[in-house]
Structure 1
Amino acid sequence: MSSASLAQPPRHVTVACCQLEPVLGAADQTRRRIRTAVLEAAARGAQIVVLPELANSGYMFHDLDQLRSAAEPLDGATIRELRALASAHGLVVVSGFAELDGVDAYNTALLIDETGLRATYRKAHLWNGEKSCGFTPGSDRPPVIDTPHGRIGMMICYDLEFPEWVRLVALAGAEILCGPVNWPLYPRPQGERPGEIVRVQANAAINRMFVAVADRAGTERGQKWLGGSVIVDADGYPVTQLHLGEEALITATVDLAQARDKSISMLNDVHADRRPELYVESEKSGRRPPSVHRTVREGAASGHQQVGIVE
């Protein structure tokens, strides 16, 4: 469906983020949890439903064999279930998915609407342990899809840490960016909002675009998860309450027309004011970065350590 075919683009849509706990090695149980969460979202009037990263499988794989045993092809049981739910309730569902394609495994996001599977995206920026357990990185840009409930972009977790990657979907006209994530729980200063959420707010504000992030909850093989699901408006402000660390369903009704207006003053527009000819030159200049040393934050399982760069 092209944007031109949407004669009357939707304004108000209700978005739900399902903060659930996949069970590693228990696919049937996990699918039941997904089904329950999606049905609850539909009962609350949701039109767009976002599920966590690797929602069908869990996350903390020891090796590629274990990953392959949990991953599914694109015609597998989880996608059949999501297609049935989307069709029955007129939903757009964006979900993380452990995808098996031949011998390769991908950390994938997929978009399903009432017509079926519309798009897939394979995570381009792999986070730490995802490299060692055998995920293959994707190499395609994140898609932007016209749906009955708005123009939706999608990417996965660590992808959101790269402003230039997020900018791609914004420039492609996404009104809302849906992000399945698994955010490990890290220490933070007393009273501070989690940094992952701060960065999502920044992405929304600098692009005047809604962002809906579905995180997971619980503890898996010693790794605690943040449980930081959030929906952020085009000004960069959360429109949902946080339910850190617990299973939850968050919903918000948003006005997508706000994301079509990129002006921030009478004379400023966050896209029209860009000067990409300056940015490209600086990237090609070959200048060496400042001297750095690496600092590593401990405390996350399976090699999930945060690496910082300090001048």
Structure 2
Amino acid sequence: MPEASDGLRVAALSPEIVIGDLDGNLARIRDAIVAAGRRDARLIVLPELAVSGYVFADRTEAETMAITVDDERWDAVRAVIPADAVVVVGYAEKVGGQLYNSAAVLTRDARLADYRKAHLWGAEKLVFDHGTEAGLVVDTSFGRLGVAICYDNEFPEVPRRLALAGADVLALPVNWPLVPRPEGEHAPELIQAMASARSSRLPVVIADRWGSERGVDWTDGTAIIDERGWIVAFRAVMGATATLSRAAVREKSLPPHNHLFDDRRADLY
């Protein structure tokens, strides 16, 4: 178990999300944040498009469920965030005539950043505009936080880019549709996340959906993966909670003869 000074308590939450019920979703998001605060979480991650729901009929419908960064309803969310915590929550962001699949990075006192998803999956391309950054790194009270959304993480360049930029942990809001897989196997997206965590020594906090929405069944893949690529918390009631070692993340030497980043042969790739 990491020492208290080294350990970072994180939580991946999956409250009930009802498409179109923005006020109800925000209320359940607030309740989930309060519960995670009771477990001393300093990083709290909620799913992709948690404020709105995901399975839109078209762009026009999504626009009716989108909110701006200065919507007054954010104030109530920030008010329940523990004093030393950071919350990452997915929402549909309206910016003039643009519409983004975004993640807000919030503290009680500030809005640290808004990340707009760069890699749009499936019908998302018919609804949203592409973001212009492949993941984001934000300075926080506990270190450097990487942020990406769902399909972003299936491109190995994204978590590697964030790790090279000094991210200590990756917050990953997702909506993983359930797909067939061999008996006893993890979801393919979870396996990819485990691999990227190991290859970049970058732990991942994944908040996924459960249940179904408009005929789409969700994977229920909420999990916390440590810097070695192992799942350390998975599918708990109201979310998964774990303590990560920041020192282990920042140590890139692989004794006795290797270094995670220095050994890269970028001239050959």
User: What range describes the TM-score normalised by the shorter chain of this pair?
Assistant: over 0.9
1:212 matched residue in structure 2: 205
- Letter paired with 2:132: S
2: CA distance between counterparts of 1:12 and 1:183? Answer: 29
> 1:290 matched to which residue of 2?
none
CA contact (8 A) 1:83 1:112 kept: yes
Report the TM-score, using the length of structure 2 for normalisation.
0.95
TM-score by length of 1: 0.82
Partner of 1:110: 104
| Aligned match of 1:152 | 145
Letter in 1 for 2:62: L
2:169, 2:205 within 8 Å by CA — same for their partners in 1? yes
1:95-174 aligned within 5 A: 95-132=89-126, 134-174=127-167
The equivalent of 2:60 in structure 1 is 65
* Distance (whole Å) between structure 2 residues aligned to residue 189 and residue 81 of structure 1: 43
| Structure 2 residue 261 is the aligned partner of structure 1 residue 277 | no
- Distance apart, 1:78 and its partner CA: 4.3
1:76 aligned onto 2:76: no
Give deviations 1:87-112, integer Å, cap 9, x for gaps. Answer: x5431001111101112110011211
Q: Deviations over 1:18-66 (max 9, x none)?
A: 0123111111111111011111000111111000000100000011110
SS of the counterpart of 1:67? helix
Is contact 2:93-2:101 (8 Å) kept?
A: yes
CA distance in 1, matches of 2:209, 2:73: 17
The residue correspondences of 1:225-304 to structure 2 (distance < 5 A) are: 225-243=218-236, 248-279=238-269
Shift of 1:120: 1.3
Matched residue type, 2:181? R
Distance, in Å, in 1 between the alignment partners of 2:194 and 2:19 is 30
Distance 2:131 2:147 in 1: 13
The sequence identity of aligned pairs, in percent, is: 43
Alignment partner of 2:12 out of 2, 14, 17: 17
Q: 2:38 aligns with which of 36, 43, 66?
A: 43
Matched, 1:184 2:177: yes
Give structure 1 stretches of 5+ with no counterpart.
1-9, 280-311
Q: Output one character per residue of 1:58-95: Cα deviation in whole Å (capped at 9) or x when no partner.
A: 00001111000000000114422232222x54310011
Per-residue CA deviation, residues 244-274 of structure 1 (Å, 9 max, x unaligned), is xxx6321001111111011223111111101
Runs (4+) of structure 1 exceeding 3 A deviation are none
Count of residue correspondences: 265
Q: Which has the larger radius of gyration?
A: 1
C-alpha RMSD of matched pairs (Å)? 1.3
Mapped contact 1:219–1:225 kept (Cα < 8 A): yes
